[in-house]
Amino acid sequence: DDFISILSRLHISDGMTVEEIQNQVETALMAERYFAVAKSYMLYRQKHAETREVRNKMNFLINYCEAQNAATGSKYDANANVEKKN
């Protein structure tokens, strides 16, 4: 019954983002007085957001280091006369 109560509070529609749905889940958990679960869920989301941010930054740096043209971060160097990065 508790699970049904939580689900009944969600208003999901086409075009919603995952984050919007997750926000509704948090709100529903709190409305049903599952404060500890809501807090754990929020901390879980925060940790994963931080992990995604670190991963995106690492991927950017890896791509930049592998780029042929350091000025643009491009893998293709528009200036054929330049052999080394700046």
- The residue range of the domain holding 27 is 2-52
Q: What is the pLDDT of residue 63?
A: 87
Q: Is there a domain that residue 34 lies in?
A: yes
Q: Is there a domain that residue 35 lies in?
A: yes
Question: What gap in Å lies between CA 36 and CA 41, rounded to an integer?
Answer: 9
User: Which position has the higher pLDDT, 1 or 17?
Assistant: 17
Number of domains composing the chain: 1
Reported confidence tier of residue 77, pLDDT bands at 50, 70, 90: low
Question: What gap in Å lies between CA 22 and CA 68, rounded to an integer?
Answer: 40
Q: Is there a domain that residue 78 lies in?
A: no
Residue 57 has pLDDT above 90, yes or no: yes
Q: Is there a domain that residue 86 lies in?
A: no
Q: Is there a domain that residue 64 lies in?
A: no
Q: How many residues does the chain have?
A: 86
